[in-house]
Amino acid sequence: MVSDVKILGFCCNWCSYGGADTAGTARMQYPPNARIIRVMCSGRINISMILKAFKEGADGVFVGGCHMGDCHYASGNYKWRRRAKMVGDIIEEFGIEKDRFIFEWISASEGEKFQTTMTNFEKTITGLGPLKRGFKPI
């Protein structure tokens, strides 16, 4: 059964995006309510992009980058990892459960890892339900 939660994935061009591709070409099913945005490196992702995704209606946000040591630009994923540490603490302050955000290292060949990560994440988000926010935008 497909739930109606919306998941946004930021995937690094050199690895996770490839991972998603691998999963696709191998016909490994992953949740259709995940929408992927390709970025050139996980190091390109700012915390504000994650926050904007939640503001615009995402119920869960995923970030995929290269394994440590594999970054196409040497240190991008290290930089992202340092940033990612803060995301949970920030969203929590605005009533968004920490579990609604995950990041994972997935290489281009790990189609299966991509599939399981997304499937599990979709389960978590479906369990949490659509994002409810106390702030009332006018």
Residues of the shown chain interacting with another protein in the complex, contacts defined by CB under 8 A: 46-48, 51-52, 54-55, 69, 71, 74-75, 78-79, 82-83, 85-86, 89-91, 93-96, 134-138
- Of 83 and 116, the one with the shorter C-beta distance to another protein is 83
Nearest approach, Cβ of 95 to another protein (angstroms)?
Answer: 5
Q: Token pair 């591709």 is at which residue? A: 21
Four-residue CA torsion sign, 104, 126, 55, 111: positive
**Six-digit token pair at 72?**
């196409």
Q: How far apart are CA 104 and CA 11, in angstroms?
A: 10
Q: Is 35 helix (H, G, I), strand (E, B) or coil?
A: strand
Cβ distance to another protein smaller for residue 8 or 71: 71
State the nearest-atom distance from the C-beta of 98 to another protein, in Å.
Answer: 12
